[in-house]
Structure formats: C-alpha cells, structure tokens
Amino acid sequence: MEPDFFFLLPVIPALSSAVFKYYTEGPPKKSWDLKFHLSMALIKTNQRFLKLPFEQLQKVADKFIIKVPSNITVKDVILDEEYRRKSITHLEKLLKQYEDVLDEKWKEPNDGRLSGEWAYTNEADNVVVLYLHGGAFRASTSKNARTITFKFAELANSRVFAPNLRLSPQNQFPAALCDSIAAYLYLINPGPEAGFDPINPKKIVLSGDSSGGNLVYALLLFLRDAGLPLPAGSVILSPWTDLTHSMPSMWSAELDKIDSLSSKLGFFDIGAPSPISEEYFVTAKALADKIALKKPTIVSHPSFTEVPRFQIYCANEALAIPYVSPMLAESLGNLPPILCQVGGDERLRDESILISYKAANPREYQLPSYATKNFEKSPFKNPTKVILEVYDDMPHGWHLLTFSEPSKIAFERCSDFIKRVTSIEDNNISMIDLVKEDLVSPSISVFPSFFAMRINTNGEIRELNETDKDCLKWDKIGIVPKET
C-alpha cells in the first residue's frame, strides 16, 4: 500500500465493489486510469463516514494519519493561549457589525489549547507555509493534511506549520478563523516559549484546501481589513468560498458521477443522532431566537431564510459575511499574490474561477447584486495578482492522489510559486516574476494582474475554455438555490 493511500485504509472493504464498478461502468473521464478511478471510487465511498454521529466522524478522521517518511521531521506543538486571546481581540473589532447573527461561544474554547505540527526536511530554508486543513469545517486535522504539507516541505524546501482548527458544530464561525489568525500571530510574533524568532511575513505563504481554502481567503481579508502585516502570497487548492452554494457547477448533473462532493445544500446531512448533534440543535435554536429578536440588518438575501439552516458552520443569516463566503466580499483587492488551483470537473470550479477574476479585477466584479455598493469608498481598489489554474478532468480531492501526473504537476507549480513569491524583496512583483518563463507564450494571455490557464493531464497549457467564463455572467451569485 503506497503512503498516498493511508488515508483510505478505513474503506478498504469497499475495494472489491469499487473494482467491479470500474469494469461495469468504466471511468467517468477517459483520462482516468484504473488507479486514479479506483482511488476516486474509494474517496466517494469514504463519504459514507460523513453520515456517522459527529463524535465518531471526528474520531475516524483522527485515525487517517499519513506516516512520516524518513526525510521529514515532524514536531508537535501546543500554542500558548495568548495567541487565541490576541486573535479574539482583533476579531471582536471587525465582527462587531455581525454579532447579532453569531453564536458567541467561539470566544470560550472548551476543547483545549490550540495545537499543531511543524513539518520540514534538513534542507528547509527560512520560508514558512501556514497550512489550513480542509474537512468541510467538521472533520480533519493537521495529520490528515500531511499528504499536502509533506509535499510542500519536500518540493519548496519550506517549513510547514499546520494548526488543528476547531471543528463544527461544536465550534461555529468564527472559531476556525480565530484559530487561523492565532496561528499566524504565533509565526510573526512568537512568545519566548515558541523557540524561534519572529518570522518575516514576506517569508510566509498561506495555503489550504477546500474549507481550508475558504479560511485562507478569510484570513487574507481579515489581515488586510485589520491592518496587520500581510504574507508574501497564498497557494489555494480547490477552495470552498461560496457557502450559499449559488454557482452553476455546484448543481451540475454532469458531475454526479465524477466529483466526490454532492449537490446538496451544506453538502452533507447532520448525521446520526448524538450528544453533539443534540447540543447543536439546541444552540442553533437559541441563535435563531436571538436573530429573530435582534432583527439584524446585515447584507443578506431573502433566499437565505427561505430554506432551513443548512450549514453547521454558521446561521443562514451569516452566509454573506465576507469572512464566511469570501467570494461575496465587496472587494478582494489589495491582497498579496494568489495561486489558485481547481479541477475542471469540481463542483467548486465556478466559485474558484469567479473569486479569481474578482480578486484580479476588483472594480469590474463587484458582487453580489443585492449588496450595497460602497466600492468607490473602499480603500482596497488595487488589483490582486492572481494565477488561476484549471486542471482538465480533475474532481475535488485530486491533489491527494500524488501518484497521478496532474497532482505531480500541480505540486511542482505550487512549490515554484512559493519559492518565487518569497524571493521578492519589495512589493513591485510582476506577473512574469510569478511564473516560469516557459509558460509565457503568445498562446496564453498574461494581464498585469491576472494569468489564467487550463492544464491538461500531460501538463500542456492553453487558454481557459470559453464555457469556463460563463459563471462570470451568472445572475444568481450569492442567492441560495432551491434544491431540485
């Protein structure tokens, strides 16, 4: 069994049925070989664990531990509470306008101190990647993310710090963001117990996948809005940035047999009854009563409350908060350079494309349509430099299949970006500085703040498909759809 498959061990009993499915139906994409298709079948089968009670789900996730290879050193750490306290102080100021729709328990962590792990090789330089794990906000740990963090440590010669973020539904928004901020403060302003000197933000790259990608965008927006030092850049993998589920690819029937994510509001059901789920229902009811009493006037749309609450991470009324759904932020300008990678057959494809265009062109893409238009008064009008890479035929989770050529290509490009963006001494970085010279050709358009491309399974690049841009004209952005 290859190291890349350790996270699949609990579902090995499904192996024979997955093989049978391959031979009877064949892979949904011609480019998928047996190994890739079997792996995706196992990942899809793995979704059955999300129907478990939360207690069991989170314990199962804790067992998905990637073994440490001989060339990697891993160091577990527990952060002093001062980092969370500082994070809470910063967050309270920016979230005051939203407090009527938030569960205040996020300020009172009841599950212990913030922990995490460092991963690095003997060749590691002074670059640090802060990695925020995915898991739909409800499961996963830094140890589940090792498939990715170890690749960054090896290929980018970086030290990688991955915190264990608080999970929903026990800890709702902004608990995970609070922990992400605390981890960043730990890096740039460590206490004497940390054992290292403050790390120059220009040597830090943020990264995360799926819900972790959401948190990377949210952290960037928070740091910008709070006036705190920004990192050198970000590598964001298949980010989930629209918790309203409003984009067309989320509901595409063509992806039913391809992607591991389901077309369902909230992606997953609550799961079997358990003490945690019972407590969640009580908490959700109390928050709903509070919202009904306060009658908050924050940005929202009638569609938010036309359906029952469907995200365990936050109330429906909070869906348009930019730190919840970064795609809906008024402006994604004035952020450090971003590399965003997404599969061409992911349900999250459209939101990844839109948020990339929006960051690179903040004046042109001011969304959603129901939001108050205050862009002219915004201090964040400067375009963010963005590289968008859409990988042909790839479903959600494809980065984890490190034996595959697209995953290898993606990690090489991530590592190259990390090295480039942390080698620039000033803020005058250009798009040409951010990409390999052999990628710049007459066949690919490079704009001052944007470089978008399709990458096939052999690594050949071309312009985006015309259909990729259809989502830019979507007239229901940020509007919760009625499930069909």
> Which tens digits make up the pLDDT trace of 357-412?
999 999 999 888 888 778 888 999 999 999 999 999 999 999 999 999 999 999 99
Q: Which of 254, 255, 323, 257 is nearest to 102 (CA)?
A: 323
Catalytic residue among 168, 210, 246, 303: 210
In angstroms, the first-to-last Cα distance of the chain is: 40
Which residues lie closer than 8 Å to 158 by C-beta, 6 or more apart?
Answer: 120, 124, 125, 127, 128, 129, 152, 205, 418
Range scoring the smallest mean pLDDT among 30-44, 130-144, 432-446: 432-446
Listed in order, strand segments (DSSP E) in 115-241 are 115-120, 128-132, 159-163, 204-209, 233-237
Q: Is-catalytic flag, 210?
A: yes
Q: Is residue 409 part of a domain?
A: yes
The predicted model gives 332-344 an average pLDDT of 97
Domain that holds residue 97: 3-264+320-473
Q: Is residue 165 part of a domain?
A: yes
195: left (phi over 0), alpha (psi -120 to 50) or beta: left
Identify the band that residue 484 occupies on the pLDDT scale cut at 50, 70 and 90.
low
Indicate whether 480 pLDDT > 80. Answer: yes
Predicted confidence (pLDDT) per residue in 95-116, tens digit: 999 999 999 999 987 777 999 9
CB 398 within 8 A of CB 405: no
Alpha-carbon span 203 to 194, nearest angstrom: 18
Alpha-carbon span 484 to 318, nearest angstrom: 23
Identify the band that residue 129 occupies on the pLDDT scale cut at 50, 70 and 90.
very high
Structural domains in the chain (count): 1
Q: Is residue 313 part of a domain?
A: no
CATH number of the domain that 206 lies in?
A: 3.40.50.1820
Q: Is residue 218 part of a domain?
A: yes
Averaged confidence pLDDT in the chain: 90
pLDDT at position 39 is 87
**Chain mean position to CA 361:** 21
Give the pairing of strands 386-391 and 115-120. Answer: unpaired
Indicate whether 89 pLDDT > 50. Answer: yes
CB 159 within 8 A of CB 127: yes
Alpha-carbon span 468 to 474, nearest angstrom: 12
Amino acid identity at 180: S
What is the three-class DSSP state of 158? coil
Q: Is residue 81 part of a domain?
A: yes
Q: Is residue 59 part of a domain?
A: yes
Alpha-carbon span 241 to 350, nearest angstrom: 10
Per-residue exposure over 42-79, b if at least 16 CB sit within 10 Å of its own CB, e if not: bbbbbeebbebbbeebbeebeebebeeeeebebeeeeb
CB 471 within 8 A of CB 249: yes
Indicate whether 8 pLDDT > 60. Answer: no
pLDDT at position 481 is 95
Identify the band that residue 7 occupies on the pLDDT scale cut at 50, 70 and 90.
very low
The predicted model gives 216-238 an average pLDDT of 98
Alpha-carbon span 178 to 86, nearest angstrom: 9
Alpha-carbon span 384 to 356, nearest angstrom: 9
Alpha-carbon span 414 to 416, nearest angstrom: 5
Alpha-carbon span 44 to 290, nearest angstrom: 38
Q: Is residue 370 part of a domain?
A: yes
Q: Is residue 293 part of a domain?
A: no
